[in-house]
Structure 1
Amino acid sequence: MLDGMAPEEAKVWGIRVPVSSSGRRKWPDELRSMAVQKVLAGAGIRETVEEIGANKSLVALWVKKAEPQADGPAFVEVITPRTSAATQPPMPVAASRENDASCKISVGSATIEIPQGYPADHLVEILRAVRAAQ
């Protein structure tokens, strides 16, 4: 590398890693997976980064993408058939409790049922999304 020429490839953990003329590495999926598994098994990101010669933020991004997402609300846009805005009445939001088993939120013809004990902070996010959609 003293002559300014970057190697065409490197070997990391026995895996061929192509290197571009600018010196950037194209990390193979197999190596990414191995690095993520090592970090998830308890190795530090810094330790793993030093071992493979990658950027710390890059490996942290690999780990973040690989981690299962925490249980929380997954928002899906519900699109209902619309008539012209002039003829369509505003869609009221109504919340009711039936037998204390759940909370139902109705917006037009769509109903969202929320089970008892659902985290309040997630419910607030749902209500904000419903309000913003109107």
Structure 2
Amino acid sequence: MANREIWGFEIPTSPSGKNIWPKALKREAVRRIDEEGASPGEIAAELDAHECLVRKWHVAARRARGDAILDNGPAFAEIKLRPDARPIEARPSNPDQARIVVGAVCIEFPISIDEDSLVKLVRAAGTAS
């Protein structure tokens, strides 16, 4: 495949058809995000690349600068059980419901719940116990 040019940078293509992104182009993409306020999606569209790739470059540059990269919190919530807790029936009473049982802690929720809401529910249960 023939090389192409973006923002004045030549983008070679590997024999398998993948773009080989020059370091200088990655730095320019990160600069446009940081200094011009462009979104990773906008940059990705200009490059004809995946947005997750541009985000990866941006996070790597921030880490290299020593910036703290915050996430949405821990992947797991701590759930503490009381020593006097009694077991709970594992099967929900409603077929449209699901139930997570850990010792005496029971979290019942609709099976249609989205992942983010379920994570919030589990975190809230962990802090309330």
Q: TM-score, normalised on structure 1?
A: 0.45
Of Structure 1 and Structure 2, which has the larger fraction of its residues in helix?
A: 2
Which protein, 1 or 2, shows the higher relative CO under an 8 Å CA cutoff with sep ≥ 6?
Answer: 2
Of Structure 1 and Structure 2, which has the larger fraction of its residues in strand?
A: 1
Q: TM-score, normalised on structure 2?
A: 0.47
